[in-house]
């Protein structure tokens, strides 16, 4: 314990002496171990895997993302850190959610866009997230986490962790991205984001009362416990009547602004038109989970008929056809899914596995490697290992199996067995 304690205490002392910085939003001095450059680098590194793990980009209506981006730029321009490399993506995800990574990389789910009434409410969501980035909340949270660990060791209560304890995180960590950085904001951070988010709204010309209406909507939905909400935006941004009242007091300090309801409704017109298609898709998922594959296939066919450009629908159709052992038709469905959105990892994995099963080794390798470039997964790593082993590339096989083994579970054990066959011990 003593050998670990000395350097950690030294770190804690160094933090207390030299890691104070000024919060760009509040002007207060705070303890932060990450530099601004590190924040930007962390956000850039985690942005792609975060988006991939949460549905990928919504591509049916590209104009919607341009519209959301324009609103974000208005707010970023009046923020306390206008020079950050702000960027936003509309994610193809039903769960109402929004998040910001360090350095200004942001995302909002189409599921949340469907719950908003006007552009001012959108500005309220985005202004809140911009404050998280501008005020360096992620950096502050990381500092607090480190200090907590130091304190636990100094008190003699820290549990020792072997390398193997962290091995299972190696594959999953790239997929947690946004959750890891923003799900644990403190109450103080949330209230700070509410306060200055309303200020940004007002400066950009939006009606700050929209922030009040937005919180009222969140409270109503959380009380109704509607599916998906508690695992999405509300889990990391818990609403309350207290926050409604506080936002009302803050909004009263500013002049009225615009709502831009008509512009917002025009922007989400395609989403509204496709509501029934997404409902059928969701029902198909539920039917598939209950192993009612014929019913699920009928529902997803209806969804495709209503919106043939949605890659998620084609992907689910391919998976359902596989369950019915219709490999050729499944492959065609996966082809359509990839063509609809070639920048999403999941249909590439499914198509790669099917091509491997059908003996199309070269195409399988191309698909699985393409998926790994978008989001490394344990499944793709294991099967790339088998493909490498089949073609006699021992070095590549070992590398892929080691990646798969680090993910743990049944597949990790299978990868360990493959490594043992190759004479490699972990």
Identify the CATH number of the domain in which residue 340 sits.
Answer: 1.25.40.10
Of residues 220, 185, 209, the one with CA closest to residue 96:
220
**According to the model, what pLDDT value does residue 187 have?**
67
Window from 35-49, 140-154, 259-273, 310-324 with minimum mean pLDDT: 140-154
Same domain membership, residue 149 and residue 286: no
Domain boundary among 224, 248, 265: 265
Residue 95: inside a domain: yes
What does the alpha-carbon distance between residue 145 and residue 250 come to, in Å, rounded to a whole number?
31
Is the pLDDT at 25 greater than 70? The verdict is: no
The total of structural domains in the chain comes to 2
Same domain membership, residue 132 and residue 202: yes
What does the alpha-carbon distance between residue 304 and residue 236 come to, in Å, rounded to a whole number?
33
Residue 415: inside a domain: yes
**According to the model, what pLDDT value does residue 96 have?**
86
Same domain membership, residue 355 and residue 252: no
Calculate the CA 52 to chain-centre distance: 7
What does the alpha-carbon distance between residue 79 and residue 199 come to, in Å, rounded to a whole number?
9
Q: Which residues pair with 57 in a beta bridge?
A: 91
SS3 155: coil
Read off the tokens for 373: 């470039």
**According to the model, what pLDDT value does residue 148 have?**
34
Is the pLDDT at 281 greater than 50? The verdict is: yes
Is the pLDDT at 245 greater than 70? The verdict is: yes
Rounded mean pLDDT of 101-114? 94
> Domain range spanning residue 344?
274-421
Window from 18-22, 120-124, 305-309 with minimum mean pLDDT: 18-22
Asked if residue 194 lies in contact with residue 186, where contact means CB atoms within 8 angstroms, the answer is no
**With bands split at pLDDT 50, 70 and 90, how would you rate the model's confidence at 220?**
confident
Same domain membership, residue 295 and residue 241: no
Burial class of 163 by CB neighbour count within 10 A (0 to 12, 13 to 18, 19+): exposed
Same domain membership, residue 244 and residue 307: no
Asked if residue 249 lies in contact with residue 195, where contact means CB atoms within 8 angstroms, the answer is no
Calculate the CA 213 to chain-centre distance: 25
Asked if residue 143 lies in contact with residue 29, where contact means CB atoms within 8 angstroms, the answer is no
Count CB neighbours of 178 within 10 A: 26
Burial class of 132 by CB neighbour count within 10 A (0 to 12, 13 to 18, 19+): buried
Name the more confident of 213 and 243: 213
Is the pLDDT at 210 greater than 70? The verdict is: yes
Q: What secondary structure does DSSP assign to 192-231, as a single string? A: HHHHHHHHHHHHTTB-THHHHHHHHHHHHHHHHT-TTTTT
Burial class of 80 by CB neighbour count within 10 A (0 to 12, 13 to 18, 19+): middle
Same domain membership, residue 283 and residue 216: no
Rounded mean pLDDT of 388-412? 96
Rounded mean pLDDT of the chain? Answer: 83
What does the alpha-carbon distance between residue 190 and residue 145 come to, in Å, rounded to a whole number?
17
Is the pLDDT at 101 greater than 80? The verdict is: yes
Is the pLDDT at 341 greater than 90? The verdict is: yes
Window from 60-69, 172-181, 244-253 with minimum mean pLDDT: 172-181
**According to the model, what pLDDT value does residue 94 have?**
93
Domain boundary among 242, 265, 288: 265
Same domain membership, residue 88 and residue 186: yes
Q: What is the pLDDT of residues 124-135, one digit of tens each?
A: 999 999 999 887
Same domain membership, residue 261 and residue 283: no
**According to the model, what pLDDT value does residue 193 have?**
84
**Could you tell me what percent of the chain has a pLDDT over 90?**
64
Residue 347: inside a domain: yes
Same domain membership, residue 307 and residue 223: no
Read off the tokens for 4: 């670990």
Window from 94-108, 304-318, 355-369 with minimum mean pLDDT: 94-108
Q: Which residues are CB-contacts of 303 (< 8 A; sequence separation ≥ 6)? A: 277, 278, 280, 281, 284, 310, 313
Query: Tokens 């984001």 sit at which residue?
Result: 193
Read off the tokens for 203: 């400066």
Pairing of the two strands 87-91 and 98-100: unpaired
What does the alpha-carbon distance between residue 221 and residue 361 come to, in Å, rounded to a whole number?
49
**According to the model, what pLDDT value does residue 39 have?**
85
Asked if residue 306 lies in contact with residue 274, where contact means CB atoms within 8 angstroms, the answer is yes
């Amino acid at each position: 314990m003593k050998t670990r304690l000395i350097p950690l205490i030294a770190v804690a002392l160094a933090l207390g002496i030299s890691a104070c910085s000024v919060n760009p939003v509040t002007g207060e001095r705070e303890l932060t171990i990450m530099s601004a450059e590190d924040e930007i680098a962390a956000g850039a590194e985690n942005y792609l895997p975060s988006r991939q793990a949460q549905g990928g980009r919504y591509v049916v209506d590209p104009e919607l993302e341009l519209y959301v981006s324009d609103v974000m730029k208005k707010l970023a321009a009046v923020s306390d850190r206008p020079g950050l490399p702000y960027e936003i993506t509309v994610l193809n995800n039903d769960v109402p959610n929004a998040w910001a990574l360090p350095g200004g990389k942001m995302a909002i789910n189409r599921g949340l866009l469907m719950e908003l009434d006007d552009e001012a409410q959108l500005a309220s969501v985005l202004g809140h997230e911009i404050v998280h980035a501008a005020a360096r909340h992620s950096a502050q949270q990381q500092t607090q986490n480190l200090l907590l660990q130091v304190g636990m060791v100094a008190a003699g209560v820290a549990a020792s962790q072997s390398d193997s304890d962290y091995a299972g995180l190696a594959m999953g960590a790239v997929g947690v991205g946004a959750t890891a950085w923003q799900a644990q904001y403190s109450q103080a951070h949330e209230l700070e984001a509410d306060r200055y988010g309303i200020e940004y709204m007002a400066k950009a010309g939006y009606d700050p009362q929209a922030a009040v209406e937005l919180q009222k909507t969140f409270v109503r939905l959380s009380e109704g416990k509607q599916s998906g909400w508690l695992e999405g935006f509300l889990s990391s941004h818990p609403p309350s009547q207290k926050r409604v009242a506080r936002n009302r007091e803050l909004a009263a300090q500013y002049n009225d602004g615009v709502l831009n309801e008509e512009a917002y409704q025009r922007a989400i017109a395609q989403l509204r038109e496709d509501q029934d298609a997404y409902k059928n898709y969701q029902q198909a998922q539920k039917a598939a989970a209950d192993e009612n594959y014929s019913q699920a296939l009928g529902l997803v066919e209806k969804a495709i008929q209503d919106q043939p450009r949605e890659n998620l629908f084609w992907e689910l159709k391919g998976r359902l056809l596989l369950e019915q052992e219709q490999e050729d038709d499944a492959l065609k469905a996966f082809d359509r899914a990839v063509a609809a959105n070639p920048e999403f990892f999941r249909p590439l994995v499914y198509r790669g596995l099917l091509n491997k099963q059908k003996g199309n080794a070269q195409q399988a390798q191309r698909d699985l490697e393409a998926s790994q470039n978008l989001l490394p997964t344990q499944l793709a790593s294991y099967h790339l290992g088998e493909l490498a082993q089949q073609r006699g590339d021992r070095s590549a096989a070992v590398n892929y199996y080691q990646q798969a083994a680090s993910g743990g579970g049944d597949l990790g054990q299978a990868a360990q067995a493959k490594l043992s066959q190759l004479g490699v011990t972990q």
